[in-house]
Structures are given as structure tokens and as C-alpha cells.
């Protein structure tokens, strides 16, 4: 393996072992930081910016104020029983996280090399072998750091690991292809089929995504389309049918419906941001099964959950 | 050789719980523990009548007296009969032979009011027991043991470095008794064998005269067992006559027929075989209060009877299931009374009566059969504390069987515990030298003790606080809490120049305390020889009849004595932190560390030091720095322990199992160098320190696999915590099963058990997030841990957990 490959670096925000819903078998997910889309339902808001951020968990905080004392930018103060940060002043130096006794302050994001990530991913090799698992690149958006992702996946393939990428596919083909070429399975998020609605909700149109989907499929790579089912945003039968039709047309055989959940909600608060989807209800099992029924006429395997 | 496989999804082998079992289960669950004086009175009477006789005969006659006179009960709905106490369904008999001093102390108030394991004590029982206390004064095992203990060992024992509680004032239980033999020949056969051997003895040989006494004792206990069954037969006949319900009448008649025939004669069908298994399990526990008496590999022993009945159309699968469910319930009627100190270590009436399923046949084939599946159903139906239920997994364990095991695990009883043959079998052979076919036929006895046929585990050879041993090495043998010198002088720690000096000190302290532990055990075993031969148990342990010797005299074919290190992760993580912070990175001096530990991390500097210690690498994260220290440390323990032999000249072996001992041992342990505060619990079994593992279950398994587990021949326990959400659907369950298989087969792990976290634990995690950093949530494409969720979201997950539990 080329040395230069191993020394490439990128910013990730988590590595999670024993992941069981993101590709076959037992997997290790590497969460890449940074995303070009702005989905209001995003469950990993800490993934959106490529830069480092600090998250604060009020329920873990003991208000010992060690963080305030150590902050050299005077960015922290106690307001109404919580530590408030002035994000204008904060330079994200991370000192406050180091002194926190309760793990209430955590720096999100870390620059790492391919070699470093690989050494963690390889630890569970014995579990991948029996279960048919491997590595999954997720995010954020792995394609936001295309060179790093490409190098990481190339290194994984070199080590004989099964590779999966979880992506929205929103990237220029020239940058996307070097990543996909070392990917065994693409979990492609298609949220909304109507391009103008896509732009309105997520911030960008979807032609590039659909075009990439087609080209990836033509290249012979296996794709599973994943649709986050967000009530009121994209759960209309029209949108789902259109997605299924598109899938059939480009030769995709499997669709996963990922039901909306609110597990990410508290992260917004911890980042000092606002969660916009307050009023949306988590779809019931019956409702999801009803959606699956409606998609039965397409010759696709439809699954609820990853 | 082709093997037939049964598939778990075949409707044929999934059976629902019947109304009879539901009713009986409710009865057992709602019966409160109550003390019973009957056995104590009868044993006292027997002892008074036999004072001129040799102890072995006195023991046999006491057993006979109890069985002839105790109240017997056949409860409504029962198919398998035989009761333990004479005072209701969950009544605990008293065993004065092993010690009465604690009962005298606790009888009037404490038993009914103590925090753990309370009993109802009727006035009559109090009076009965008080009437016999004077007789037993000075005659019990515990008193004799204390009188014989060397002063230095007594001092160390009382300093609580190691504790043996139940096993200093209780009998032996950890033995693999021979159910197949009794099924095959009955006690009639055993008697014939004994009589034959009696005839061949030389009258003028002293050794043979000793054997004669043992054989005569066995004849007494065998007849007593037969007679006991006949009493149930008579009772069933009597009840049948009065019974108006025709169905129940026929059942009672069948019970009468079964008990008239077994265990005297060879079992003829499945019902009789199950009844024999129960009688043996019960009788051993009436003879002594030894803990962890275990039925063993019932799916193997009972299979020939099941198969034959099924083939001949005498039994349906539903009937077999109901008989097994009855057996499962019966195990939950057994209850023993222990003193307050012992219940702290063994809280919650743990009888640890182990049933083992699956595994291999003596010739190495997969042993899974239809009964293995039916026993999983029984576990699903009963879901109570007993049996301690375990399954053996090996490289040829069928996938569908493992999936069904995973399903039952998901119900959240923590059972079955899963053991890996790939390491258990070599570990047994390495330590005990039994032949391969015997080793393959091992069962679990108690919680984790690997026990091949014919092996007597000499009870628990102590909970041994290794966290404290390390702390004493870091404090020149002085107890950090009391200031008392209890260990060896191994040098002023502030003068240590290299980490090797720390390790040397640990080795010396370890050797010193293990030696005293072995002495302590030896004295108890000497007293048991003298005062409490276990005649009935010996009559069904391989080797005893052949040698003409009781198990207390080394009669069993094989033997082993375990010792349990308590606080393994606490000890090893302490050493990792010392090495890294004091000697490698020099961020801390030994003097600073000593001050911080002495003061329990007082003051700002104390807290800073504690945080440095807490952030040092910890076992359970698949981090080689921490894991190699655990390996190094456990090797020190193994090396020292394995130098010793027990009273019968048999090996000592490690058992990494702590039960509740982490709490009382924690109370007596000062602050430790892993950042643990004084008097808080030390780490559990082979698990990482609570909350120290942050990389998920595969990392924990990898860390554990770095320990030389072949040297834990008496077993080890690795607890994994799972939120139900990650075992929910079939795909997730399959991945879980594959993870288990990877650990047990590929990584050669010895044992793993899974606690499916209940809502109570989740609430505790809300309150004490620092203890639950390892609690993971798994949702597609989402990254988080439970403790980091907002309270409302945590509440939601708790509510869902509660809902699912219904």
C-alpha cells in the first residue's frame, strides 16, 4: 500500500463499533464531518460543519465552573443554571473539554489519518469475518472530504475489508468516483424526488444526486436506496412511488425506509442550535407497514429500518 | 457421521405455557420465604441417639431420620413431587451441624428485618430452634474451624482480605453427581454394588474397616431415599382416593406408581426419569446446605427416555414440556437460610442449581437435541431465578439453536449464560487431567464452575480481594482505611524507582495472602472430614463407592478447589495508571499518589489526580496498554494460586466470579489508583469497571480474550449490558448471535452473559451517567450513547422498555 495513502488525513466526529443497522454484518462506522445538505430532520447536527465544535450536555453538567476558569477567551458564563458559550468569542481550543470532570463538554471533530482510522477499524476484523461485516463510512457526508474518504476506502480494500458508504450522492462525479470505486455497497439517501421541493427543503436541487445514482448503478456497484420517512416532508405516496420507480429504472433492487426519530433533538440544544421539527410525530409501525404495502407493486425488496 | 438437526422454527418445538404451569408459577412466586425447624429438630434427635457411633454412621442415620419423619407435601397441580421444608412451599430448613451461632444472633429480629433475604419466622420455629441451640454449642463445623485456625491466618481472614462465609459454615454442594447411573440402576443397583464390595473386604485390614463403615452408611442413606419416595407414593394414593376430579385422580395415581418404582429401580419412562432427577437434586439439598447443587446436563441424561417414549407413542411433546416446566418450578422451591454477612455476598437466595444444555457428546459430536429446545421453552415459561441456566456453544452448534438461545436471552433474565467448549474443554484437561471424553461431558455447577463427570469442586475457596492486594503493595502492607499493618512489608512506595518494584511488591503480597487463603480452606476441609461426611452425595459421585471413601475424604475421582479474585479490573487498571502516570509520563509522583489515595482524593489537587487516574487507559476498550496489564496481573494471580494443592492433593484453579462480594469487599477497600473512591464497590467478575468501557461490546470481548482464559478452569463470568433496542428485530438478533459465536468459538472466550437492561437500570443511568458510559443506542446512521440523550428522550426509551417488558 502506498504510504501517502495512509498518511492522508481528514476530520471525523466519531467511530462506532458494533454497528448493526448500516450494511451487512457487524460493522464499524466512521462518521465523517461536514455535509453540503441542510436536512431539517438531521439526527447528527454535529456532523454538518466541517470545523470542530463544542457540545455541551446540561444534564451531565455539575456547574463546577472549571470550564469558565480555564477559558482564555472569556467565552463562557453561567446563565440560569447552565454554562452558556459566546460562539463569537470561542476559538474551540478545547481546554474547557479537557478540564470537564463530567464529560459534559465535548469537542466534536478530530483530525485523523487513514492509518489511525484503519487501526481502529481493524480491531473488529474477527467479528466482520464471521458476520460478513466491515467498515461503513457515514457522516455528515463522506463525499465532503472526497480525498480522505477515497484514501480510507482504498486502504480498507487493500486490507480485504468489506466497504459500505452512506451518502447523499451530492458531489461532482470526478470527486465521487474515486470514493465509490473502492466501495462494495452504496447506501444512497434519496430524500425527495421533486427537485424544486428538494431545493426548498434541503437547500440544493437533486439532479446531481439522481444522475450520480444512475451512473453508480451503471458502473455495476450495488446500491440500496434509503429514504428517511419524515411525515409531512416526503412521505407522500407520490414521492415514495416516484423513488421506487426511479430505483427500478436504474436497476436498484432494495429500498430501506428509515423512520423519522427524534434521537438527535438534544444534540441541537447541546450545540446551541434550534431544532425546527418540534411538531412532527414519529411514524407508527402500522403506518410504515402501510407504506411498504403501497410499494409492493414495484419489484423491489422494501425494508423498514436499516 | 451425519447428524439429524432440529430446527427451532419448526412449530413442533415451540410450546406455550399451560394454565397448570401458570397457576403453579403464581403459587411459587407468591410464597414468602419462611423458616422451618423440622429438620433441625430431627437431626438433633438423631445426633443425641447416636453419640456412641462413628460420625459417618451418625450422618447417615440423621439423614434417614429426617427423610422418615419430615412433613411431606404434594401440592395442587404437581406432577413432579418432593418438598424441601415442612413449612410451606418455600420453607428453609435449618442445618445446625455447620453452625448455629449466627442464627442465635439473628433469630429474634434480624432475620425478619435485615435488608437482604428476609424470612418469616413463626414463634413456634423460634422456640424450637432455641431449644436445640444448647445441644450444638461447641459441636459445629464453624466453631471447630475457628478453634483450629492459626492466629495469623485468622487475623488476615478477619481483616476481610478473603471471605468464604457460606463455605465456612455450610456443607459441600459443587459436585457433578451421577444422574445417569441412578437412572440406569436405581438405588437398588447401588445397594447391590455396595453389598458386593462389602463381601470382598478383608476383615483384618484397617483400611477395609474404614470402607466398611462408609458402605454401611451408604446402605442406610440408599434405603432412606427409597423409603422417602415410597412415602410420596402412599400420599399420592391417599390423595387419589379422595380426589373427585377424574383427570387429577389419574395424575395422582400415576405419581403413586412413579414414586413406588423410582429411584429404587431403573427409570422406565420420561416421567420417571424427570422424577429421579428431582429426587436426587432434592435429597442432596436435604442432606446438607451445600450451595450450587446442580442437576447438570439434563437434555443429555433424559434424552433416551424421551426418545423411547415418543417413538412408542407413550408421550407427547406437550406432556414432556409440562414435566420439564414442573421441574423448573420445583427448583425454585429450594431455599436456604444464611447469615447476614453471607447474604451480602450472595444476595437474593441464589441456590445456583445449574442446568446445562447443548455442547458436545463425549465423542465430540454436537449434542443439541429436542430436549435442549424444550428446555429453552421452559426457561421462557418460568423466567425465575432457578435454574441457573447455561448453554454450551462450540464450533458445530447449529445456528438455529443459537438463534433460539439469543431469543431467550432477550427476555432479560440474564440466562442462559453461554459457555464456549473450545476453551472450556482444554482448560479442564489442563488443570484436572481428566480424559478427553470426560472433559467433553462437562457441565456447569453453580454459576460458572466447569465440572466434568466425577469431579468434586471443593466449594468456593474464597472471594479474594485482589484490588486490595494491589493497594497493600502500594502502601507497604498497611491498610489504607484502618492504618493497620495486615500485609507484608514490601517497601516504602515513595522510594520505588521503577515499575518493576511495584510489580515485585504485588507478587510478594499476593503470595502471602494466597498462602493464608489456602490454609484457611485446609482447616475447613479438615473439619468437614471429621464432622460432616456427606454420605448420600458420596453415594452418587463417581469414585466414592469404588474407593469406599466419602467425598470429604477424597473419594471422588477428580477434584479441584477454586479461588475467586475480586476486583480484577480495579486492580489491573490501578497498575496501568501507576505505570503510565508515575513511571512512564512522570506526571505524578508516588508521594502525591499516596497522599491522594490516603485522603480519598480530598481537595482540588486530590480531585485533579483522580481525574488523571480516571483518564488513564482502562480494561474493556480493546486498548492494549490496559489489556496487557490485566494479562500480566492475572498471570501473577494464576501463578501463585496454581502453586498450591488442596486437602486431597488436588489443584487449585481460578474462578473469576464475584456475585455480590464487590460491595462488602469494596467497603473495606480504600481509594484505589484507578480513580475509584474509598468504600465504593470494586469491579465485578471479569467485567470492566462500571462505565469504563466506552467502545461497545466487541471491544469488551476483545479485551477479555487477551486474558489467558485457559487458566480460569473453574470458570469466568463476563457481563455485557444491552439495551433491548439493539436486540429487537431478527436481523439485529442474528448479528448478536454471531458476535457471541465469534467470542466463544474464534476468540476462545469462556463465558458471556447478557443483561438486557431494564427500565430500573435506565433510571439509574439517568441519575448516575458516569456509571453507564457503556450503554449504547443503535439506530441507522446515528451516533450517540444513552447518557448523552436529553432527559425527555431517555424517558421515552425507558417507557418503551417498560412497555416491552409486559
- Segment A220-257, tens digit of pLDDT: 999 999 999 999 999 999 999 999 999 999 999 999 99
Partner-chain contact A44 B739, CB within 8 Å: no
Examine the domain organization and report whether A251 and A173 are in the same domain: yes
Q: Is A14 touching B (CB cutoff 8 A)?
A: yes
Q: How confident is the model at residue A179 (pLDDT cuts 50, 70, 90)?
A: very high
Domain boundary among A108, A136, A155: A108
In which element (H, E) is residue A164 found?
A: strand A162-167
Examine the domain organization and report whether A205 and A260 are in the same domain: yes
Partner-chain contact B738 A13, CB within 8 Å: no
How close A19 gets to chain B, by Cα (Å)? 7
Q: What is the pLDDT of residues B401-455, one digit of tens each?
A: 999 999 999 887 788 999 999 999 999 999 999 999 999 999 999 989 999 989 9
Residue B804 has pLDDT above 70, yes or no: no
Q: Are B280 and B182 in contact (CB under 8 A)?
A: yes
Residue B466 has pLDDT above 70, yes or no: yes
* Rounded-to-integer distance, Cα B118 and Cα B587, Å: 50
Q: Is B611 touching A (CB cutoff 8 A)?
A: yes
User: Closest to B732 (Cβ–Cβ): which among A20, A29, A123?
Assistant: A20
Please report residues of B whose CB lies closer than 8 A to that of A18. 696-698, 739, 776, 778
Residues 15-74 of A with CB under 8 A from B: 16-22, 25-26, 29, 31, 43-44, 57, 59-60
**Could you give the percent of chain B with pLDDT greater than 90?**
80
**Could you give the percent of chain B with pLDDT greater than 70?**
96
| Per-residue model confidence (pLDDT) at position B801 | 64
* Rounded-to-integer distance, Cα A175 and Cα A144, Å: 9
Average pLDDT in the B35-55 region? 98
Residue A190 has pLDDT above 80, yes or no: yes
Residue B774 has pLDDT above 70, yes or no: no
Average pLDDT in the B689-714 region? 94
User: Closest to B790 (Cβ–Cβ): which among A16, A129, A269?
Assistant: A269
| Per-residue model confidence (pLDDT) at position B789 | 76
- Domains contained in chain A, number: 2
Examine the domain organization and report whether A124 and A229 are in the same domain: yes
Residue B4 has pLDDT above 70, yes or no: no
| Per-residue model confidence (pLDDT) at position B763 | 85
Report CA Rg, chain B: 27
Q: How confident is the model at residue B782 (pLDDT cuts 50, 70, 90)?
A: low
Enclosing domain of residue A77? 53-108
Q: What is the pLDDT of residues B537-549, one digit of tens each?
A: 999 999 999 999 9
Residue B186 has pLDDT above 80, yes or no: yes
Residue B728 has pLDDT above 90, yes or no: no
Q: What is the pLDDT of residues B158-183, one digit of tens each?
A: 999 999 888 888 999 988 899 999 99
User: Does B326 qualify as catalytic in the annotation?
Assistant: no
Q: How confident is the model at residue B761 (pLDDT cuts 50, 70, 90)?
A: confident
| Per-residue model confidence (pLDDT) at position B779 | 64
Q: How confident is the model at residue B803 (pLDDT cuts 50, 70, 90)?
A: low
In a mutational test of the A interface, the residue from B696, B783, B796 whose CB has the highest number of chain A CBs within 10 Å is B783
| Per-residue model confidence (pLDDT) at position B690 | 83
Q: For B779, which residue in chain A has the nearest alpha carbon?
A: A21
Q: Is B511 touching A (CB cutoff 8 A)?
A: no
Examine the domain organization and report whether A96 and A198 are in the same domain: no
Please report residues of B whose CB lies closer than 8 A to that of A305. 729, 780
Examine the domain organization and report whether A252 and A103 are in the same domain: no
Q: Are B338 and B346 in contact (CB under 8 A)?
A: yes
Please report residues of B whose CB lies closer than 8 A to that of A256. 780
Average pLDDT in the B503-530 region? 97
Catalytic residue among B36, B259, B326, B447: B447
| Per-residue model confidence (pLDDT) at position B757 | 79
Rounded to 10 deg, the angle between the A207-218 and A173-180 helix axes is 40
Examine the domain organization and report whether A83 and A193 are in the same domain: no
* A-B contacts at Cβ under 8 angstroms: 110
Examine the domain organization and report whether A262 and A174 are in the same domain: yes
Average pLDDT in the B759-788 region? 74
| Per-residue model confidence (pLDDT) at position B1 | 34
* Rounded-to-integer distance, Cα B479 and Cα B502, Å: 17
Q: Which of A133-147, B3-17, B602-616 has the highest mean pLDDT?
A: A133-147
| Per-residue model confidence (pLDDT) at position A194 | 97
Examine the domain organization and report whether A58 and A173 are in the same domain: no
DSSP string, B321-337: HHHHHHHHHHHTT----
| Per-residue model confidence (pLDDT) at position B806 | 35
Average pLDDT in the A75-86 region? 92
Examine the domain organization and report whether A162 and A122 are in the same domain: yes
Residue A271 has pLDDT above 80, yes or no: yes
Partner-chain contact B698 A17, CB within 8 Å: yes
Residue B9 has pLDDT above 60, yes or no: no
Cα–Cα separations (whole angstroms), residue B740 to A136, B186, B294, B743: 21, 40, 25, 5
| Per-residue model confidence (pLDDT) at position B114 | 84
Partner-chain contact B782 A269, CB within 8 Å: no
User: Closest to A138 (Cβ–Cβ): which among B729, B747, B781?
Assistant: B781
Residue B33 has pLDDT above 50, yes or no: yes
Residues 721-760 of B with CB under 8 A from A: 726, 729, 731-732, 735-736, 738-739, 741-742, 746-747
Cα dihedral sign, B149-B153-B157-B159: positive
| Per-residue model confidence (pLDDT) at position B165 | 81
Question: C-alpha grid cell for residue B563?
Answer: 479461588
Q: What is the pLDDT of residues B223-243, one digit of tens each?
A: 999 999 999 999 999 999 999
Residues 155-184 of A with CB under 8 A from B: 166
Examine the domain organization and report whether A29 and A116 are in the same domain: yes
Please report residues of A whose CB lies closer than 8 A to that of B778. 18-21
Domain boundary among A81, A108, A135: A108
Please report residues of B whose CB lies closer than 8 A to that of A269. 790
| Per-residue model confidence (pLDDT) at position A164 | 98
Average pLDDT in the B644-650 region? 96
In which element (H, E) is residue B317 found?
A: helix B317-331
Average pLDDT in the B191-210 region? 96
In a mutational test of the A interface, the residue from B399, B745, B782 whose CB has the highest number of chain A CBs within 10 Å is B782
In a mutational test of the A interface, the residue from B734, B762, B763, B790 whose CB has the highest number of chain A CBs within 10 Å is B790
* Rounded-to-integer distance, Cα B749 and Cα B419, Å: 8
Average pLDDT in the B20-41 region? 94
Give the CATH number of the domain where residue A76 resides. Answer: 3.30.70.20
DSSP string, A26-94: SEEEEEE---S---TT-S-GGGSSSS-EEEE-GGG-----HHHHH-TT--EEEETTEEEE-TTT-----
Average pLDDT in the A206-218 region? 97
Average pLDDT in the B36-51 region? 98
What ipTM is given for this predicted complex? 0.93
Angle among Cα B284, B285, B289 to the nearest 5 degrees reads 120
Q: For A100, which residue in chain B has the nearest alpha carbon?
A: B611
Q: Is B800 touching A (CB cutoff 8 A)?
A: no
| Per-residue model confidence (pLDDT) at position B135 | 98
Residue B805 has pLDDT above 50, yes or no: no
Q: Is A275 touching B (CB cutoff 8 A)?
A: no
Please report residues of B whose CB lies closer than 8 A to that of A62. none
Q: How confident is the model at residue B3 (pLDDT cuts 50, 70, 90)?
A: very low
User: Closest to A18 (Cβ–Cβ): which among B611, B696, B773?
Assistant: B696
Examine the domain organization and report whether A164 and A19 are in the same domain: yes
Residue A156 has pLDDT above 60, yes or no: yes
Give the CATH number of the domain where residue A174 resides. Answer: 3.20.20.70
In a mutational test of the B interface, the residue from A21, A61, A100 whose CB has the highest number of chain B CBs within 10 Å is A21
User: Closest to A26 (Cβ–Cβ): which among B735, B784, B791?
Assistant: B735
Q: Where do we find the cell 485482589?
A: B466
Question: C-alpha grid cell for residue A100?
Answer: 470537564
SS3 B795: helix
Over chain B, what is the mean pLDDT?
93
Partner-chain contact A266 B788, CB within 8 Å: yes
Please report residues of A whose CB lies closer than 8 A to that of B695. 17
User: Does B9 qualify as catalytic in the annotation?
Assistant: no
In a mutational test of the A interface, the residue from B730, B737, B780 whose CB has the highest number of chain A CBs within 10 Å is B780
Q: Side-chain half-sphere of B479: how many Cα atoms within 13 Å?
A: 17
Examine the domain organization and report whether A57 and A124 are in the same domain: no
User: What residues form DSSP beta bridges with A112?
Assistant: A10
Q: How confident is the model at residue B34 (pLDDT cuts 50, 70, 90)?
A: very high
**Could you give the percent of chain A with pLDDT greater than 70?**
100
Amino acid at each position: 500500500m502506498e504510504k501517502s495513502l495512509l498518511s492522508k488525513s481528514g476530520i471525523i466526529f466519531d467511530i462506532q463499533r458494533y454497528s448493526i443497522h448500516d450494511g451487512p454484518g457487524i460493522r464499524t462506522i466512521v462518521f465523517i464531518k461536514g455535509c453540503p445538505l441542510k436536512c431539517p430532520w438531521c439526527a447528527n447536527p454535529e456532523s454538518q460543519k466541517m470545523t470542530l465544535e463544542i457540545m455541551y450536555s446540561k444534564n451531565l453538567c455539575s456547574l463546577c465552573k472549571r470550564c469558565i476558569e480555564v477559558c482564555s477567551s472569556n467565552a463562557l458564563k453561567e446563565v440560569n443554571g447552565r454554562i452558556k458559550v459566546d460562539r463569537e468569542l470561542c476559538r474551540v481550543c478545547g481546554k474547557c473539554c479537557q478540564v470537564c470532570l463530567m464529560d459534559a463538554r465535548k469537542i466534536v471533530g478530530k483530525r485523523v489519518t487513514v492509518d489511525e482510522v484503519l487501526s481502529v477499524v481493524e480491531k473488529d476484523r474477527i467479528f466482520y469475518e464471521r458476520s460478513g461485516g466491515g467498515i461503513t463510512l457515514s457522516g455528515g457526508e463522506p463525499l465532503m472530504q472526497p480525498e480522505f474518504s477515497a484514501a480510507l476506502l482504498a486502504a480498507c480494500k487493500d486490507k480485504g475489508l468489506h466497504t459500505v458508504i452512506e451518502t447523499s450522492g451530492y458531489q461532482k462525479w470526478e470527486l465521487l468516483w474515486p470514493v465509490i470505486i473502492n466501495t462494495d455497497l452504496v447506501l444512497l439517501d434519496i430524500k425527495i424526488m421533486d427537485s424544486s421541493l428538494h431545493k426548498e427543503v434541503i437547500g440544493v436541487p437533486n439532479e446531481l444526486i439522481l444522475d450520480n445514482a444512475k451512473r453508480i448503478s451503471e458502473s455495476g456497484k450495488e446500491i440500496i436506496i434509503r429514504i428517511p420517512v419524515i411525515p409531512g416532508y416526503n412521505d407522500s405516496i407520490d414521492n415514495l412511488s416516484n423513488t421506487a420507480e426511479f430505483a427500478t429504472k436504474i436497476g436498484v433492487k432494495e429500498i430501506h425506509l428509515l423512520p423519522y426519530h427524534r434521537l438527535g433533538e438534544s444534540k441541537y440544544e447541546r450545540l446551541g442550535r434550534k431544532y425546527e421539527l418540534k411538531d412532527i410525530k414519529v411514524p407508527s409501525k402500522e403506518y410504515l407497514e402501510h407504506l411498504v404495502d403501497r410499494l409492493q407493486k414495484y419489484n423491489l425488496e422494501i425494508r423498514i429500518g436499516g | 457421521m451425519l447428524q439429524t438437526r432440529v430446527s427451532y422454527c419448526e412449530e413442533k418445538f415451540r410450546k406455550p405455557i399451560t394454565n397448570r404451569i401458570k397457576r403453579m408459577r403464581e403459587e411459587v412466586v407468591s410464597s414468602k420465604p419462611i423458616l422451618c425447624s423440622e429438620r433441625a429438630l430431627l437431626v438433633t434427635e438423631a445426633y443425641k441417639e447416636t453419640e456412641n457411633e462413628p460420625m459417618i454412621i451418625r450422618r447417615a442415620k440423621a439423614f434417614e431420620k429426617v427423610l422418615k419423619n419430615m412433613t411431606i407435601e404434594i401440592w395442587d397441580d404437581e406432577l413432579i413431587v418432593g418438598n424441601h421444608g415442612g413449612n410451606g412451599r418455600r420453607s428453609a430448613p435449618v442445618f445446625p451441624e455447620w453452625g448455629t451461632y449466627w442464627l442465635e444472633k439473628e433469630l429474634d429480629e434480624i432475620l425478619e428485618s435485615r435488608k437482604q433475604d428476609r424470612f418469616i419466622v413463626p414463634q413456634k420455629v423460634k422456640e424450637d430452634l432455641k431449644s436445640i441451640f444448647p445441644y450444638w454449642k461447641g459441636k459445629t463445623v464453624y466453631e471447630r474451624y475457628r478453634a483450629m485456625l492459626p492466629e495469623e491466618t485468622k487475623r488476615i481472614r478477619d481483616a476481610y482480605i478473603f471471605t468464604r462465609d457460606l463455605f465456612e459454615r455450610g456443607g459441600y454442594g459443587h459436585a457433578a453427581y451421577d444422574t445417569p447411573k441412578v437412572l440406569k440402576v436405581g438405588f437398588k443397583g447401588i445397594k447391590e454394588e455396595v453389598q458386593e464390595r462389602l463381601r470382598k473386604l478383608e476383615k483384618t485390614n484397617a483400611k477395609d474397616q474404614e470402607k466398611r463403615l462408609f458402605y454401611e452408611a451408604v446402605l442406610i442413606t440408599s434405603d432412606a431415599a427409597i423409603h422417602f419416595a415410597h412415602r410420596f407414593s402412599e400420599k399420592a394414593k391417599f390423595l387419589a382416593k379422595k380426589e373427585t376430579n377424574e383427570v387429577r385422580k389419574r395424575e395422582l395415581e400415576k405419581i403413586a406408581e412413579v414414586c413406588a418404582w423410582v429411584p429404587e429401580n431403573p427409570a422406565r419412562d420420561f416421567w420417571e426419569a424427570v422424577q429421579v432427577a428431582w429426587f436426587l437434586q432434592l435429597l442432596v439439598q436435604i442432606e446438607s446446605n451445600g450451595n450450587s447443587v446442580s442437576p447438570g446436563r439434563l437434555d443429555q441424561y433424559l434424552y433416551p427416555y424421551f426418545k423411547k417414549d415418543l417413538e412408542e407413542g407413550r408421550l407427547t411433546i406437550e406432556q414432556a414440556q409440562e414435566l420439564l416446566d414442573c421441574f423448573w418450578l420445583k427448583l425454585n422451591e429450594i431455599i436456604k437460610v444464611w447469615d447476614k454477612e453471607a447474604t451480602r455476598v450472595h444476595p437474593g437466595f441464589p441456590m445456583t442449581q445449574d442446568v446445562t444444555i447443548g455442547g458436545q457428546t463425549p465423542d465430540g459430536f454436537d449434542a443439541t437435541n429436542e430436549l435442549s429446545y424444550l428446555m429453552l421453552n421452559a426457561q421462557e415459561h418460568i423466567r425465575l431465578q432457578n435454574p441457573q441456566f447455561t448453554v454450551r456453544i462450540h464450533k458445530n452448534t447449529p445456528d438455529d439453536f443459537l438463534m433460539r438461545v439469543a431469543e431467550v436471552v432477550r427476555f432479560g433474565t440474564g440466562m442462559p449464560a453461554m459457555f464456549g467448549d473450545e476453551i472450556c474443554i482444554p482448560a479442564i484437561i489442563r488443570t484436572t487431567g481428566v480424559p478427553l471424553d470426560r472433559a467433553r461431558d462437562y457441565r456447569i455447577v453453580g454459576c460458572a464452575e466447569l465440572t466434568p463427570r466425577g469431579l468434586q469442586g471443593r466449594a468456593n475457596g474464597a472471594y479474594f480481594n485482589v484490588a486490595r492486594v494491589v493497594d497493600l503493595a502500594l502502601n507497604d502492607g498497611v491498610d489504607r482505611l484502618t492504618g493497620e499493618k495486615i500485609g507484608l512489608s514490601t517497601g516504602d512506595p515513595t522510594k520505588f524507582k521503577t515499575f518493576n518494584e511495584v510489580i515485585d511488591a504485588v507478587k510478594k503480597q499476593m503470595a502471602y495472602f494466597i498462602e493464608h487463603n489456602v490454609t484457611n480452606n485446609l482447616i475447613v476441609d479438615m473439619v468437614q472430614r471429621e464432622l460432616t461426611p456427606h454420605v448420600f452425595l458420596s453415594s452418587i459421585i463417581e469414585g466414592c463407592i469404588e474407593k469406599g471413601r466419602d467425598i470429604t475424604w477424597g473419594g471422588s475421582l477428580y477434584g479441584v478447589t477454586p479461588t475467586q479474585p475480586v476486583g480484577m479490573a480495579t486492580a489491573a487498571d490501578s497498575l496501568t495508571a501507576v505505570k503510565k502516570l508515575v513511571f512512564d509520563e512522570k506526571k505524578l509522583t508516588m508521594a502525591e499518589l499516596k497522599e491522594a489515595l490516603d485522603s480519598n482524593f480530598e481537595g482540588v489537587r486530590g480531585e485533579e489526580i483522580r481525574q488523571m487516574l480516571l483518564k488513564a487507559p482502562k480494561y474493556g476498550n480493546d486498548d492494549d496498554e490496559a489489556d496487557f496489564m490485566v494479562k500480566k496481573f492475572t498471570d501473577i494471580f494464576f501463578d501463585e494460586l496454581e502453586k498450591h494443592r488442596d486437602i486431597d492433593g488436588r489443584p487449585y484453579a481460578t474462578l473469576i466470579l464475584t456475585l455480590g462480594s464487590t460491595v462488602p469487599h469494596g467497603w473495606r477497600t480504600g481509594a484505589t489508583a484507578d480513580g475509584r473512591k474509598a468504600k465504593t464497590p470494586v469491579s465485578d467478575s471479569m467485567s470492566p469497571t462500571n462505565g469504563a468501557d466506552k467502545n461497545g461490546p466487541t471491544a469488551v470481548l476483545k479485551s477479555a480474550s487477551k486474558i489467558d482464559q485457559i487458566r480460569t478452569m473453574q470458570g469466568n463470568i463476563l457481563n455485557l449490558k444491552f439495551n433491548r433496542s439493539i436486540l429487537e428485530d431478527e436481523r439485529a438478533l442474528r448479528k448478536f448471535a454471531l458476535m457471541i459465536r465469534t467470542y466463544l468459538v474464534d476468540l476462545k472466550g469462556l463465558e458471556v452473559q447478557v443483561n438486557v437492561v431494564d427500565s430500573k437500570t435506565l433510571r439509574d443511568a439517568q441519575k448516575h451517567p458516569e456509571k453507564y458510559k457503556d450503554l449504547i443506542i443503535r439506530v441507522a446512521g446515528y451516533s450517540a450513547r444513552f447518557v448523552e440523550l436529553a432527559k425527555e428522550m431517555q424517558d421515552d426509551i425507558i417507557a418503551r422498555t417498560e412497555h416491552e417488558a409486559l
